[in-house]
């Protein structure tokens, strides 16, 4: 039983089905479960043919009926952990999932939380499960935390090949979770306690966010200095030890980096009475990048005798990173919003993002287009925000009158500048 059939839950349920479990993918979104039941995968990492095959074989079943949770042996919670309006952790999805699950809890079962969250959450879940079911975590059923490390689109480090951290509320819970995951992944790494595993996941993602912030902050400085930040990053990246290269960009997005860093700093504030200054600053730097992109664009257009107000700007790639269709927290929405505020007409091209999403909040009012020669030529400027492999970059350089490449993808020329 996997609760939540999104980027994390669906690949896990499919992997469990392939490993011989009878997997039920439960999700409150009835549209999603209907799509899944029809054998169509909305997640890039799960092939629809694979999904349809497992469904036909009776090994996988999508359901939006809470009653289908009855009789499970293992339940994994993989629901969203977003930020509330005040930018603090919003655990309402996890809490709701725990309440639903609590109704169907039996002695001896294993419950695992996989959602990324702050230290202490799994114990909060234990309390909800106990309140609803009357059963004790550890004493009556097993409870574990195992953070998901999936990197959508990564073909090398998959759910199966990426080592999996596992911690339990007690030793028996940890061992039950180890036994479950050993059947699904190549390597299971036991961790001392729940809080260590919860914090390890936040550290992984925050480390990346902070390092990206560093190179993002370097980008304007490099420009003032008259050197290419991309060449600096590549040069430093040749050091074979002690340095991990990170690349600048228009900001960080997705459900992980921008969110998890704030979960971490918030948790430090709650426990120690002091937020993490470095982490908060990194978030601010990353959040400032869309404004920097727009300022650069305004400057470049002015140099070409064009005002941003009234100009047509084509954004290439609306997802938060290359080769995915995930627009959550995508810097493209902030760039589009700032451009619109300044009176620009905004077009967005992204083969991975559904047209209905391209016109969703954040992108509202902006025209979804294809990156074809006529459209590229018609725009006053093209901004590469997510460098999907699906774009034809020769076409872009050939037809666009000006390109601001925020991903260091294109060769520079009179008409192509990089961040």
Ligand X SMILES: NC(=O)c1ccc[n+]([C@@H]2O[C@H](COP(=O)([O-])OP(=O)(O)OC[C@H]3O[C@@H](n4cnc5c(N)ncnc54)[C@H](O)[C@@H]3O)[C@@H](O)[C@H]2O)c1
d(Cα 170, Cα 175) in Å, to the nearest integer?
A: 9
Q: If binding is defined by CB under 6 A, does position 26 make contact with ligand X?
A: yes
Q: If binding is defined by CB under 6 A, does position 9 make contact with ligand X?
A: yes
Among 3, 191, 267, 396, binds ligand X (CB under 6 A): 3
Q: If binding is defined by CB under 6 A, does position 148 make contact with ligand X?
A: yes
Nearest-5° Cα angle at 339, 335 to 344: 150
**Min separation Cβ 302 and ligand X, Å:** 38
Q: Which is nearer to ligand X, 194 or 311 (CB)?
A: 194
Q: Which is nearer to ligand X, 282 or 313 (CB)?
A: 282
List all residues 6 or more positions away from 398 whose beta carbon is below 8 Å from its beta carbon: 373
Q: 268: which strand partners?
A: none
Q: Which is nearer to ligand X, 30 or 214 (CB)?
A: 30
Assign 279 to helix, strand or coil.
helix
Residue 79: name the closest of 33, 115, 128, 30 by CA: 115
Stretch that binds ligand X, among 144-152, 238-246, 297-305, 401-409 (CB under 6 A): 144-152
What is the distance in angstroms between the CA of the first residue and the CA of the last residue of the chain? Answer: 45
Among 5, 286, 330, 397, binds ligand X (CB under 6 A): 5
The residue of the chain with the least Cβ separation from ligand X equals 6
| Residue 15 CA: distances (Å) to CA of 24, 117, 161, 375 | 12, 23, 12, 41
Q: Which is nearer to ligand X, 80 or 331 (CB)?
A: 80
Stretch that binds ligand X, among 89-97, 241-249, 300-308, 385-393 (CB under 6 A): 89-97
Q: If binding is defined by CB under 6 A, does position 152 make contact with ligand X?
A: yes
d(Cα 360, Cα 198) in Å, to the nearest integer?
A: 32
Q: What are phi and psi of 220, to 5 degrees?
A: -65, -35
Q: Return the structure tokens found at 20.
A: 């011989």
Q: Which is nearer to ligand X, 45 or 380 (CB)?
A: 45
d(Cα 284, Cα 278) in Å, to the nearest integer?
A: 10
Stretch that binds ligand X, among 68-76, 145-153, 167-175, 354-362 (CB under 6 A): 145-153
Among 36, 61, 80, 316, binds ligand X (CB under 6 A): 80
Q: Return the structure tokens found at 263.
A: 């979960």
**Catalytic residue list contains 256:** yes
Q: Give catalytic residue positions.
A: 256
Chain positions contacting ligand X, by CB under 6 A: 3-9, 26-29, 32, 78-81, 93, 96-97, 100, 115-116, 148-150, 152, 255-256
């Amino acid at each position: 039983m996997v609760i939540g059939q999104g980027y994390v839950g669906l690949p896990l349920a499919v992997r469990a089905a392939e490993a011989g479990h009878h997997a039920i993918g439960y999700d409150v979104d009835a549209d999603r479960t209907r799509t899944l039941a029809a054998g169509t995968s909305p997640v890039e990492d799960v092939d629809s043919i694979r999904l349809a095959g497992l469904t036909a074989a009776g090994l996988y079943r999508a359901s939006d009926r809470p009653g289908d949770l009855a009789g499970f042996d293992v339940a994994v919670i993989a629901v969203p952990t977003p930020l509330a309006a005040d930018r603090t952790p919003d655990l309402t999805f996890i809490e709701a999932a725990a309440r639903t699950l609590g109704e169907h809890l039996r002695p001896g079962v294993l419950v695992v939380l996989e959602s990324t969250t702050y230290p202490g959450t799994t114990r909060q879940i234990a309390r909800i499960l106990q309140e609803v079911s009357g059963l004790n975590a550890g004493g009556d059923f097993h409870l574990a935390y195992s953070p998901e490390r999936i990197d959508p689109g990564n073909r090398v480090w998959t759910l199966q090949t990426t080592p999996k951290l596992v911690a339990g509320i007690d030793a028996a819970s940890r061992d039950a979770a180890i036994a479950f995951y050993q059947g699904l992944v190549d390597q299971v790494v036991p961790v001392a306690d729940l809080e260590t595993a919860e914090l390890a996941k936040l550290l992984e993602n925050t480390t990346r966010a902070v390092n990206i912030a560093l190179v993002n902050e370097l980008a304007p400085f490099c420009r003032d200095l008259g050197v290419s930040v991309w060449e600096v990053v590549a040069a430093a990246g040749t050091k074979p030890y002690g340095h991990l290269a990170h690349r600048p960009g228009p900001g960080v997005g997705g459900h992980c980096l921008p969110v998890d860093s704030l979960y971490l700093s918030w948790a430090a504030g709650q426990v120690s009475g002091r937020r993490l200054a470095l982490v908060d600053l990194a978030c601010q730097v990353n959040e400032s990048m869309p404004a920097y992109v727009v300022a650069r664009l305004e400057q470049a257009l002015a140099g070409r005798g064009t005002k941003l107000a009234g100009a047509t700007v084509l954004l290439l790639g609306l997802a938060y990173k290359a080769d995915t269709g995930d627009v959550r927290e995508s810097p493209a929405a902030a760039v589009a919003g700032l451009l619109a505020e300044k009176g620009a007409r905004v077009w967005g091209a992204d083969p991975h993002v559904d047209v209905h999403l391209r016109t969703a909040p954040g992108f509202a009012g902006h025209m979804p287009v294809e990156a074809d020669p006529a459209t590229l030529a018609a725009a006053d400027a093209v901004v590469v925000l997510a460098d999907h492999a699906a774009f034809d970059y020769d076409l872009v350089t050939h037809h666009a009158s000006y390109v601001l490449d925020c991903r260091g993808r294109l060769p520079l020329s009179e008409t192509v500048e990089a961040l």
